[in-house]
Amino acid sequence: MEYIVLSATLLAIGVYGLLTKRNLLKMLISIEMIAAAASMNFVVFASSAGGSLGQAFLTLALSVDTAITAIVIALVLVSYREFRVLDVWGLSRLGGRRERKHKPEEVEE
């Protein structure tokens, strides 16, 4: 029972961080806390049921979570290198407009 309370606490902290923070890295940490809470639930319910299905779900969840985290970190790095912005609202203000670093070469006909 203590693990379920711990998992619910992790979930609540992760949701709070996701809703209140604007920094992309802090939002990523909040999402990771939510994923840790879900993984903890898999382990707790698998141990109470006595089967190995929970362990299979845990392995799948951890591998998918790791892949998603790698993709999000790559996107955060690209957005910081291109726009020097880690604030979510700052990125949304860009609105798809991107300044070019160099002029395109003119094509002669």
CATH 1.10.287.3510 fits 2-88, yes or no: yes
Which pLDDT does position 56 carry in this prediction? 83
Q: What pLDDT sits at residue 98?
A: 57
Q: List residues bridging with 87 in a β-sheet.
A: 23
More confident residue, 4 or 108: 4
Q: What gap in Å lies between CA 80 and CA 106, rounded to an integer?
A: 29
For the chain, the C-alpha Rg in angstroms (whole number) is: 20
Q: Cα–Cα distances in Å, from 74 out to 71, 79, 82, 100?
A: 5, 9, 12, 21
Region 57-85: mean pLDDT is: 88
* Rounded CA separation 34/106 (Å): 50
Q: What value does the mean pLDDT of the chain take?
A: 83
In the chain, domain spans: 2-88
Give me the pLDDT at residue 11, please. 95
Query: What is the predicted pLDDT for the residue at 7?
Result: 93
